[in-house]
Amino acid sequence: MSLENKTIDFKSAVVGEKLCSVTMDVEVSENIAADEIESAFSRIRRQAKIDGFRHGKVPMNIIRQKFAGEAKDRAVESIIKKTVLDALKKEEFVSIGFPVIEEFDYEVGQTLKYRFTAERHPKIEVKDYKGIPLKKEIFKITDKSLEQNLEVLRKRNAKLVPSKSDKVTEKSFVSIDYDAFDAYGKELPEIRAKNYVIDLNSENTVKEFKKALSGLKIGAERDIKIEYPSDYSSEILAGKTVTFKIKVIEIKEKEIPDLNDDFAKDMGIENLGNLKTKVKEIVETEEKRRQDMDIKRQIIEYLLEKNKFEVPQSLVTENKKSLVEKMKNYMKRQGASEEYVKKQVELEQKKLKEEAENKIRLSYILNAIFKDENLAMTDADIEEEKSKMKTSNPGMENAVDKYFAEKKENIMLSLKGQKLFGFLLASANVETEEKDMLLKKDENEK
């Protein structure tokens, strides 16, 4: 009797249950298992190709001898597929993905037994999401902080000009040529450079280069020997002892423009007064963005602290893989070696898992609040957002329409998040404190 298109009678029992998972035992009688094996033999016979016999006409006794193991495996796989989801259905359990078979016991002629675990989305009741205590620090721009931001703007627009000093100083920008050789004197052409500019004032500049270049004049030559650790971020240099033969080509220094109307015009602004107004607006916009991000961070941390529950580990594993890949790709783009990347990923395993778990848990929390509060996204919300974007991007109406047509789902998710956090903020207990904007530490201070 073929069971290909029929359900199978079985016994099942829940042996373990958690918020996000259930473990069940399933038994299928020896008679049903035997019938399924016979069905497997019949399928194998139709497909088998054996020399000396026509396709599909191999005697069954030969099929039984040659394919007993395969028939058993096929039968077991078929039985599990036909029973595992029905077992979950009996318990009204909606599974995430296909269940995992954890234990299995079957010999031909005996009862087939197996145990599986399936995961589901947790049903949760979010706690303490209204009246969240928040601290909002508002940093007001002062004359001193405005002056500092203008100074930063000046320094960013500084030009490199020939140095007034004929020697390299700790503030010099030195243009050098160099060749590189390994510990055995073999040239390393992939490390050679021409007119390479080194900022001796930068903390990122290799200390051996700083020491060797200090006090040199244009045309001077010097050798620098550096031993790089095996876990150095650059794969080319990691674990090598390299001798650099350098030559000073040019010595430069920064020339910072004066803060006047001419500088403002170079920035595309009519005069210095308007430049100050523009810089103040930019700083205030950045401060508003910082406030919003800090408030959102506080809300997220509070919700996670007050709502701790189990989340499906299959989703955590999948999300963690994504985080690992992002971490790897970032470090590789920075020139890190494979060995260094592998070591850093191993060190961050626990942290990455916690991050993945928090991300999954937060999604359940936010979706539950959105549903409980009867919040909803509508086409009107989309149209309003589209109208705003068109207003801020005149002449690009067609491009905006295309963007919204192609990215509607992503835009909906973003607007959903904005609406939800707006609701949480509106019901929060916010303590506001105004402070003068902190002055930034001078980048030249040590």
Tell me, yes or no, whether 105 and 224 share the same domain. no
Tell me, yes or no, whether 81 and 195 share the same domain. no
Q: Tens of pLDDT along 292-301?
A: 999 999 999 9
Q: Classify residue 147: in a domain, yes or no.
A: yes
Which positions ≥6 away from 417 have C-beta within 8 Å?
366
Measure Cα distances from 258 to 156, 188, 253, 281 in Å.
13, 44, 16, 22
Question: Exposed, middle or buried, 116 (CB in 10 Å: 0-12/13-18/19+)?
Answer: buried
Q: Classify residue 352: in a domain, yes or no.
A: no
Q: Classify residue 178: in a domain, yes or no.
A: yes
What CATH number does residue 39 fall under?
Answer: 3.30.70.1050
Domain that holds residue 185: 159-255
- The total domain count for the chain is 3
pLDDT of amino acid 442: 52
pLDDT band for position 261 (50/70/90)? very high
Task: Say what percent of the chain tops pLDDT 90.
Answer: 65
Tell me, yes or no, whether 182 and 240 share the same domain. yes
Please list, residue by residue across 166-196, b when 16 or more beta carbons sit within 10 angstroms of its beta carbon and e when fewer do.
eebeeebbbbbebbbbeeeeeebeebeeeee
Mean pLDDT of all residues in 370-392: 90
Last residue of a domain, one of 255, 288, 321: 255
Q: Tens of pLDDT along 180-202?
A: 999 899 999 988 999 999 998 88
Q: Classify residue 370: in a domain, yes or no.
A: no
pLDDT at 1 over 60: no
pLDDT of amino acid 5: 55
Residue type, 297: R
Q: Classify residue 232: in a domain, yes or no.
A: yes
Mean pLDDT of all residues in 147-152: 93
Tell me, yes or no, whether 237 and 181 share the same domain. yes
**Helix (H, G, I), strand (E, B), or coil: what is residue 215?**
coil
Q: Classify residue 354: in a domain, yes or no.
A: no
Would you give the DSSP letter of residue 187? B
Radius of gyration of the chain (CA): 34
Q: Classify residue 294: in a domain, yes or no.
A: yes
Tell me, yes or no, whether 294 and 423 share the same domain. yes
Last residue of a domain, one of 67, 90, 119: 119
pLDDT at 3 over 60: no
211 or 5, which is more confident:
211
Mean pLDDT of all residues in 194-220: 90
Separation of alpha carbons 140 and 12, rounded Å: 67
Tell me, yes or no, whether 439 and 291 share the same domain. yes
Q: Tens of pLDDT along 230-256?
A: 878 777 888 889 999 999 999 999 999
Separation of alpha carbons 10 and 112, rounded Å: 10
Tell me, yes or no, whether 433 and 286 share the same domain. yes
Tell me, yes or no, whether 108 and 31 share the same domain. yes
Average pLDDT value for the chain: 90
Q: Classify residue 5: in a domain, yes or no.
A: no
pLDDT at 121 over 50: yes
pLDDT at 345 over 60: yes
Tell me, yes or no, whether 85 and 169 share the same domain. no
pLDDT at 326 over 90: yes
Tell me, yes or no, whether 31 and 169 share the same domain. no
Tell me, yes or no, whether 105 and 17 share the same domain. yes
Tell me, yes or no, whether 96 and 44 share the same domain. yes
Mean pLDDT of all residues in 313-320: 94
What CATH number does residue 204 fall under?
Answer: 3.10.50.40
pLDDT of amino acid 379: 85
